[in-house]
Amino acid sequence: MPLIPILVALLLIIALALSMPILLVLRYRAGTMRRRGRRWSATLNLISLVLSAGLFFWVAAMTTLWVPKAFVYSLTAFLAGSLLGLLGLTLTRWEKTSPMLHYTPNRWLVLVITLAVTTRLLYGLWRVWHAWRNAEANDSWLASAGIAGSMAVGAVVLGYYLSYWAGLRWRLRKI
């Protein structure tokens, strides 16, 4: 009997792994489509991203206890992502109609961010596997698995979207 839940969980993991390419294409298409700028949506996204950033930096600070420089990498990457978000705002196509604002994010920037997250996720899995297998008795496999780099990529994405939604909210305020 306990074999059935294990098989179901294994099949779900395999299905998710096999559906990853189509999910990435759908994520790219959703990220590059033309959208109507709504003030409430921008405000809600901005609030949730501020809360996420606060939680992320708290976790990064705690992770520094086990993984050296995780907080420093995360903070630096967050600042780089914020600058990338400002670049994204300047490269976004804005269409102002009488009462509304429509925007289309830059395709290349969305592609770069999507591929960076995907590449880092795959590299992180590969590195964790090898670090776990080759860890010495006194070494931490967690520290040698590249967790700080993975957190840095997450911080880039978080910084990008936080500054992008803040800029969008500021732009919608002027309408």
| 30-88 confidence digits (pLDDT tens) | 888 999 999 999 999 999 999 999 999 999 999 998 888 889 999 999 999 999 999 99
| Section 84-95 average pLDDT | 93
For the CA atoms of 15, 19, 20, 26, the dihedral, rounded to the nearest 10 degrees, stands at -150
How many Cβ atoms from other residues are within 10 Å of residue 89's Cβ? 20
Tokens of 98: 């009488």
pLDDT, residue 18, reads 84
Judged against a pLDDT cut of 60, whether residue 141 lies above it is answered with no
CB 146 within 8 A of CB 123: yes
Question: Tokens 């289309």 correspond to what residue?
Answer: 104
| Section 133-147 average pLDDT | 63
Instruction: pLDDT band for 1, please (50, 70, 90 cuts).
Output: low
